[in-house]
Structure 1
Amino acid sequence: MTNISMSPFTNEIEWIDPPRGFTMPHFIPYKGDEDPDQHLKYYRSTMILYRNNDAFMCKIFATTLQGNVQDWFHTLPPQSIRSFNELSFVFTKKYSFNHSIKMTSDHLFSIVKDLWETIRNYVKRFKVEKAKIVGCNEDIAMAAFRNGLPTEHPLFEKLIMGEELILTASYVLAEKHALWDEAKQSNKNESEKKHIERSPTREDSALETFTKFTVPIGQILRKLKNEPWFELPPPMKGDLTRLDHTKYCVFYQDQATLSTDA
């Protein structure tokens, strides 16, 4: 009797017995970090067979509270709760800071396809955001879906110039364009791969490419040899007996050259 007198429920609620054949459902406990309205909707749908038994609805609801929320429940004034409506009111008031922001259909106009985003991913993001809106207006959603596309994309043109489509039909059309975009990208990647395979490497180009001078090399050397940054090359290598020792090479500073320009 002491426990009953300290309970937030009236005696009528505390003394209620479960209906015959009642089996306690498995509830997801409420810990105070979610929308209280969502928890109430979840609870009512789980207890739909007993919603006409107001006292029983109160008593079972208390078992769905956990942790700090259960502690809060026991701080309510003794015998202050006389109905499920009163319990719902104090519960939602206490945890109102967790109320979800109700989004309207206009929220979908903020969903815009990024420059490098695929059509498939854009549609996926749009669907996720639309699912968050209760009672979403289909006409507004259709306009927002079209608005989020780049104006130069072929899908945008079809949605503007073609016959009016419902949103689900637009999703189907977008899927076809996604397949088309992916096929084009695949062909582009394959072409680039073949081009790279056919292109000469840098080493090959270095072997075949030579600098052409319009001025004799000896004249260029005379202008550069006294510059502080100019460095002479290392001595020539190879079979020196095959070189022309009657000529002097200024570039190599040696009595060995095959070039008359040096």
Structure 2
Amino acid sequence: MILYRNNDSLICKIFTTTLQGEVQDWFYTLPPQSIQNFDELSLVFTNEYSSYRLIKKKSNHLFNVKKNPKELLRGYVKRFKAEKVKIVGCNDSIASEAFQNEHLADQLLFEELIMKEDLTLAYSFALVKKHALWDEARRADKAPG
């Protein structure tokens, strides 16, 4: 493209061949002849898509996923899993450590999590789910009825 940098119409045509999917659909919704040169195309494209850049998160981001004081355990697990799914190539041992780390305050649950020798993240989720059910049942019994 460097060879054709003075030929705006050719650069625009070449650029459009690189577009796929949703971006290509967006391009074809532009009004005909609304772009006069490659600088305009660059500006319109950047304005449309610069906010869509994804910030790549790493596994250690999961240490920032904290349980809110009034949040039910089940809700926290769901939120933690949702954050984990967003991380491409998430390291399960780091995720497991972050997940266990958040449960230090819950002594009973932490003891169970830490005492298991070959604790996988899936097993941690299952164990926490059991505690969540127990906690919800305990809260329901205490609720004024």
TM-score (norm 2): 0.69
The offset of 1:186, in angstroms, is 1.9
How far apart, CA to CA, are the structure 2 residues paired with 1:132 and 1:139?
A: 16
CA contact (8 A) 2:9 2:37 kept: no
| Paired residues of 2:59 and 2:87 also in contact (CA < 8 A) | yes
What is the distance in 1 between the residues matched to 2:24 and 2:69?
51
Match of 1:115 in 2: 69
Which one of the candidate residues 129, 135, 139 is aligned to 1:175? 129
Q: CA deviation at 1:67?
A: 4.1
Question: Based on CA coordinates, which of the two structures has the bigger radius of gyration?
Answer: 1
User: Is 1:108–1:130's contact at 8 Å kept on the other side of the alignment?
Assistant: yes
Q: Which residue is 2:3 aligned to?
A: none
CA shift digits 1:87-121 (9 cap, x unpaired): xxx79x94445421111111100112222221101
CA contact (8 A) 1:113 1:150 kept: no
Query: Residue type matched to 2:132 in 1?
Result: A
Quote the Cα distance in structure 2 between the aligned partners of 1:127 and 1:97.
Answer: 25
1:6 is displaced (CA, Å) by 4.4
In the alignment, structure 1 segments of 5+ residues that lack a partner are 14-38, 47-60, 78-89, 194-262
Q: Which of these residues, 126, 142, 145, is aligned with residue 188 of structure 1?
A: 142
Query: Secondary structure at 2:38's aligned position in 1?
Result: coil
Where does the alignment leave 5 or more consecutive residues of structure 2 unmatched? 1-7
Q: CA deviation at 1:164?
A: 2.6
Structure 1 pair 63/174, CA: closer, same or farther in 2 (3 Å)? Answer: closer
Q: Percentage identity across aligned positions?
A: 40
Whole-angstrom CA distance in 2 between matches of 1:141 and 1:71: 49
Specify the SS of the correspondent of 1:9.
helix
**Count of aligned pairs between the two proteins:** 127
SS at match of 1:125: helix
Q: In the TM superposition, what whole-angstrom CA distance separates every residue of 1:148-177 from its partner, at most 9, and x where no partner exists?
A: 124334221111122232111211111111
Q: How does 1:1-262 map to 2 (within 5 A)?
A: 6=9, 8-9=12-13, 43=21, 62-65=24-27, 66-67=29-30, 71=34, 75-76=37-38, 94=46, 95-96=49-50, 98-189=52-143, 193=145
What is the root-mean-square deviation in Å for CA atoms of aligned residues? 3.3
